[in-house]
Structure 1
């Protein structure tokens, strides 16, 4: 490894004693070796910090930073400030990479000097087989790229390699978000910089029984919606180009979709909140009213009625 590594890998860690060693092992099995790994222990209350200190003695280029619990966004920003590489990769403490992940993403950016992000395919692990199929995203570098990016997060946080210069220019993660902070960052960077696809499955998202950022469906839905609106306020020229009808379809329409998903998955608390929000925003069609109007009731009454109807 050179004195100044090509890639800095940022890994936030909070109460990850059961999986942190596996994730770090996937880093050190990379065929690309010119990296540093910065693990930010975000106030873990389990044995994570002592495990990390032992691993730091085993692995070269592993730096452990300990801070009070602030959340994954601030932890990643702390790591970015300490990073010395030209490129940044993010890997959460419960996820992993294919051994060739960094090599192939790095090669894509080296071969495309005008690109700021290289992204790849991924696979969910630990769910039912029909939810664990490998997925390779399309090439998003198309004329409608901004609209496509605005509609949703197009690759997971650990499925991309980014030039540090563009992350610094974007001022890193917006720390107001408790979820969807990667969506916000990719939207702000990729909308105005070239991205390049590596059409292979190189990253793995591991689902488990512990607390994961992606588990709170309501928080994710609302934050996703707020990030869309924030982006459009910051770029009125894009809002004007898309027009009010399409903006409503992209923003409120996505919120309605998430409300229905929650409803049919029996997450009635999330469905109640989202349907109610859309009712008062007056974003619905007549066929939606049979789902929206009952949310005028308090949640307990709403839940009780639905459970009786379903039984």
Structure 2
């Protein structure tokens, strides 16, 4: 049996799936199986996966009706044979040493059930656009993880299989933040170990629509409320910072790119997110300059026609505001 099972949820992933698969196929750690879980795709996703399966016997393809990414991950867990599990979305990439480094970290730190790495953000062409969070959190990381999703995405950790028997599968009712929910549940029971290298390349979309950001708000709030309902009493004071961080992130997502005249609702949502973050953490007005820049960006988009707004933003307000 393979030591590590890699699970790839894939829905209409034809444009990126082969690149993602090859980043897994080219791992230095070779004792793996690669499970592509087709989630009801109607493009060439299955054909691409099956073609690569002929090239690499470690690849297995399973097709299901559409159920969402959490359902696909859970389906993959059911098929997995490995002692360790890792997940990668069908548009993300790994560096070639990702699995090897995380596996080694777990062998050194026997108490840890989860190994994770740093993430960098890439664009549609695979170019680096922004460094991710350079955390140093390890061991009992629940306090840090309650405040922000340090792992940043679902393509990051390597997890001992028995940990899922303790916490259960991914919550299929969550359409966003389902990965954060899982990491929080794991952190309640197990230690984490960090591989302090950027080994996960997360493909960032610049086309988030207001409806998706609003859905993200709804489901992330559910995750936060559930996590703090189960968190120890001494950590309850962290909830306001968790909410402030969430609304900073939502504002950032809403303002990616220069909204057009058709995106007025998106800009209004961004302003609401910004003022909500101020409400939960007023000190941000004085100490977090990018948040102020986002507020100005929103006001410019609301006050000027799209072409003029784009010029003003390009000259006076940087488009890449680190978060």
Task: Identify the residue that residue 113 of structure 2 maps to in structure 1.
Answer: 116
Choose the corresponding residue for 2:45, options 33, 48, 52: 48
Q: Does 1:247 align with 2:243?
A: no
Deviations 1:166-222 (A, max 9, x none): 12321110011111111110011023311111111212112467x889x93222233
Q: CA separation in 1, counterparts of 2:208 and 2:40?
A: 16
Could you tell me how far apart the structure 1 residues matched to 2:271 and 2:205 are?
A: 29
C-alpha distance in structure 1 between counterparts of 2:104 and 2:222, whole Å: 35
Cα distance in 2 between the residues matched to 1:220 and 1:23? 25
> What TM-score, normalized by structure 2, do the two folds share?
0.76
The range that moved more, 179-188 or 189-198, is: 189-198
Q: Which runs of 4+ in 1 moved over 6 A?
A: 127-131, 274-280, 284-288, 308-311
- What is residue 218 of structure 1 aligned with on the other side? 214
Q: Measured at CA, do residues 106 and 271 of structure 1 come closer, stay the same or move farther in structure 2, by a change above 3 Å?
A: same
CA pair 263-29 structure 1, distance change in 2 beyond 3 A: closer
2:65 corresponds in structure 1 to 68
Q: Call closer, same or farther: CA 1:222–1:54 in 2, change over 3 Å.
A: same
Counterpart in 2 of 1:178?
175
Question: 1:33: which partner in 2?
Answer: 30
* 1:78 alignment partner in structure 2: 75
The residue that corresponds to 2:294 in the other structure is: none
Aligned partners of 2:118 and 2:135 also within 8 Å:
no
Provide the alpha-carbon RMSD of the alignment.
Answer: 3.6
Give the TM-score, by structure 1 length. 0.79
1:13–1:44 CA contact under 8 A, matched in 2: yes
In 1, distance between residues paired with 2:167 and 2:110? Answer: 19
Give the gaps of 5 or more residues in structure 1: 289-302
2:248 to 247, 257, 263: 257
| Alignment counterpart, residue 199 of structure 2, candidates 190, 193, 202 | 202
| Equivalent residue in structure 1 for 2:224, among 224, 228, 245 | 228
Residue ranges of structure 2 left out of the alignment (5+ in a row): 285-298, 310-323
**Contact in 1 for aligned 2:3/2:84 (Cα 8 Å):** yes
**Pairs aligned (count):** 287
Whether the 8 Å contact between 1:259 and 1:275 is mirrored in structure 2 is no
Q: Indicate how the Cα distance of structure 1 residues 8 and 255 shifts in structure 2: closer, same or farther if over 3 A, else same.
A: closer
Do 1:139 and 1:196's aligned partners in 2 also have CA atoms closer than 8 Å? no
Separation in 2, partners of 1:146, 1:93:
28
SS in 1 for 2:85: strand
What is residue 321 of structure 2 aligned with on the other side?
A: none
User: CA 1:201/1:193 → structure 2, altered by over 3 Å: closer, same or farther?
Assistant: same
Equivalent residue for 2:9?
12
Q: Determine if contact 1:150/1:187 at 8 Å carries over to the other structure.
A: yes
Once residues 285 and 132 of structure 1 are traced to their aligned partners in structure 2, the CA distance between those partners, rounded to angstroms, is: 28
For the residue of structure 1 that corresponds to 2:134, the secondary structure is coil
Q: Deviations over 1:60-100 (max 9, x none)?
A: 11111000011100001000111110101111111111111
